[in-house]
A and B are shown apart, each in its own frame.
With several copies, the nearest count.
Chain A
Amino acid sequence: MLDKLKKKIDEIFAQSPSPEAVKKAIAEGQVWKSIFRHGYPDTPRNRVMAVLSNVFLHLHPVKARHSGVKMSYTWCMGGLSFFLFLNLTVTGILLMFYYRPTAEYAYYDIVALREHVPLGIMREIHRWGAHAMVIAVWLHMFRVFMTGSYKPPREFNWVIGVILLVITLLLSFTGYLLPWDQLAMWAITVGTNMARATPFMGYEGPGASMIQIGGVHLVNGGSDIHFALLGGHFVSEATLIRFYVLHCVVVPIVAATLMAIHFWRVRKDGGISGPL
């Protein structure tokens, strides 16, 4: 056994393997093969395998229309929206570690983030990224419209895209409250006041007064959709925890799920659109 080992070591040194040989040995060893399934060299087969055998790359087809790859056609806005979403996920998680969603801490945690972290720009990246994502999603939609890319067979993917637009705005809107400053509180107050006027479901909405049993109004200020949204009659601590959970978990999960469907359907519908 020891002799064998010695011999093996001697052999290895005798060969004095070139970097290429090491690379090859790794790329053709069991570990590499079991992970990547295909070799390293740049052959058409490996180019195909790189996409097919990677769960992230397989969002793409193996080949794409040359016209669809051009930036002048796609403006890269769909990809940019996705990039910003990932970016916001990462910075958002980092921010969560420094933030407690209660009325007495929320604002001061944000202040601490600004005051005590040297060169701290997590919140900046998160906030500007969020604004940029809203714009990127609009422009993506604008591009898809202008190229008629919603036409059959892509109708339903446009519908999912519209839902994702709404989700993006909801994400931005729910996040707006979290710094718990005047800007946040009153923007959300203005935005959520609309809910009071929801027909039948808001107590200041048309039809709500018709929903009554024996003269008792079922939809009142303490039972309508506005109350359910805020967890109270006005924006308060109960609203903060609700928006926090919606912003940090619920809406992102919905968004990620819909994105998976969106990307999947782009592929199933024949990749990036192009003239027939």
Chain B
Amino acid sequence: MHYILDAIDFVLQPWSYFLFSVIAFWAMIKYREKWTEPAFAVKLLWGAIGAIVFSMVYSVHFREIASLPDNVPIFLMVFSVGFFTWLSFRQGVLNDRRIAQGQPPIEKETSDKKVYVWPDLVYIEFIATVVAGVVLLIWSLCLHAPLEQAATPAWTPNPSKAPWYFLGLQEMLVYYDPWLAGVVFPTLIIVGLMAIPYIDKNPKGAGYYTFNERKLAIIPFLFGFFILWVTLIFLGTFMRGPGWNFFGPYENWDLHKVVVLNNVNLSEYIWVRILGIGLPSNFLLREIWGFLAVGFYLIGLPPLLTKKIPLLQELLEKMGVVRYGILIFLFLSMAALPIKMVLRWLINLKYIVAIPEIFFNI
């Protein structure tokens, strides 16, 4: 057992964790017909429960972290997100089959039938309220709310973690500076979410579960929600230890673990390593390559992509310039995180633009 745990710890690195997530995501989209079968889903469920039981039984460290009271909601979240993902895909797949056969979605069959809210809906609400109340009561009776020692500025716990729902943002801090990871990206997430209804002009798929009719909307949204939010929360909880260093899920959090940081800025890569002429003293000149890269990414890339990819061409026609421009900008912003992650892992890139003089690092 010991060897299995060690092997998992060895295999799991930030890059491989990310890679496995993306593969799982791809498989989820690709094989949706398969895993939405109830029989298969039950197997998946047992697999997940088995993995957790296994981890809890054989790793004292994992058990300790997992049983912190404030980490219990994370399991609740993972399982409920999993279940409801299954439920929505299941209904989407069934509807897609019906639509392929020229039938309307299943919701259509009863959508014209109206029921009285009192008592039909109020009754369901009442039952749901009672069930939710009882669950909450039992949870509260079984599990004490955490209370650590009194607050003191004199001693900083290591690791210091934000509340669990913000761990995705805290993970972003590894790759981007606070002004981006803590301010600009969260703002863009919120703005981007708000913009969805104004960007998605696809009239189909309103009011019923479907996948095929809304692929272009669902895939990016779920990529953001699953890969850039939920899995990062899981990572931040179980695999970030003292000094925000990466640890395998079963690896003890060694306060003295030293991680070699040999990250290099883009300016140094180009001026020093490639051109071999040293860094210019003027910081605008020094960071010229970074500015070019970022400028190309945000301004040059969109027209290029649009010209090359027929799908985008088509989107532009449909959506008009303004909507399309916003869509592409938001999409590139979202892609900025995985791109920087990959660059970090591949070439140890630290900053693309690095002007610490005015706290302007990208």
In the complex they form, do A and B come into direct contact, defined as C-beta atoms under 8 angstroms apart? yes
A interface residue numbers (CB < 8 A to B) = 1-2, 4-5, 8, 30-31, 34, 44, 47-48, 50-51, 57, 60-73, 75-76, 79-80, 83-84, 87, 103, 107-108, 110-111, 114, 121, 123-129, 131-132, 134-135, 138-139, 142-143, 145-152, 154-156, 158-159, 162-163, 165-166, 169, 172-173, 176, 179-187, 189-191, 193-199, 202, 204-210, 234-236, 273-276
The residue that B197 contacts in the complex, of A152, A176, A276, with Cβ under 8 A, is A152
Chain B residues near A147 (CB-CB < 8 A): 88, 206-209
B114 with A64: CB separation less than 8 A: yes
Q: What count of chain B residues pass the 8 Å CB interface test?
A: 102
B interface residue numbers (CB < 8 A to A) = 70, 73, 76-77, 80-81, 84-85, 87-88, 91-92, 104-105, 107-122, 124-125, 128-129, 132-133, 136-137, 139-141, 143-153, 155-157, 160-166, 169-170, 177-179, 181-184, 190, 193-194, 196-198, 200, 202-210, 214, 217-218, 221, 225, 302-303, 306-307, 316, 321, 355, 358-360
CA distance A15 to B157 in the complex (A): 63
CA distance A8 to B216 in the complex (A): 26
B160 with A148: CB separation less than 8 A: no
Chain A residues near B203 (CB-CB < 8 A): 151
CB closest chain-A residue, reference B191: A162
* Known contacts A1-B307, A158-B194, A275-B105, A181 near B207 by CB under 8 Å: no
The residue that B306 contacts in the complex, of A1, A63, A80, A185, with Cβ under 8 A, is A1
CB closest chain-A residue, reference B137: A125
A134 with B165: CB separation less than 8 A: yes
Nearest CB of chain A from residue B255's CB, rounded to whole Å? 16
Chain B residues near A2 (CB-CB < 8 A): 303
Nearest CB of chain A from residue B38's CB, rounded to whole Å? 13
* Known contacts A65-B111, A125-B140, A128-B143, A139 near B80 by CB under 8 Å: yes
* Known contacts A142-B81, A190-B161, A197 near B321 by CB under 8 Å: no
Q: Write 13 A-B pairs (CB below 8 A) sorted by A numbering.
A: A62-B116, A76-B125, A83-B132, A128-B145, A132-B136, A148-B207, A151-B205, A152-B206, A181-B148, A183-B70, A193-B178, A205-B359, A274-B107
Nearest CB of chain A from residue B307's CB, rounded to whole Å? 6
Chain B residues near A274 (CB-CB < 8 A): 107-108, 111, 207-208
**Interface of chain A: mostly helix, strand, loop or mixed:** helix
CB closest chain-A residue, reference B74: A131
CB closest chain-B residue, reference A57: B118
The residue that B117 contacts in the complex, of A60, A209, A210, with Cβ under 8 A, is A60
CA distance A149 to B200 in the complex (A): 12
* Known contacts A124-B145, A207-B358, A142 near B200 by CB under 8 Å: no
A47 with B110: CB separation less than 8 A: no
Chain B residues near A79 (CB-CB < 8 A): 125, 128-129
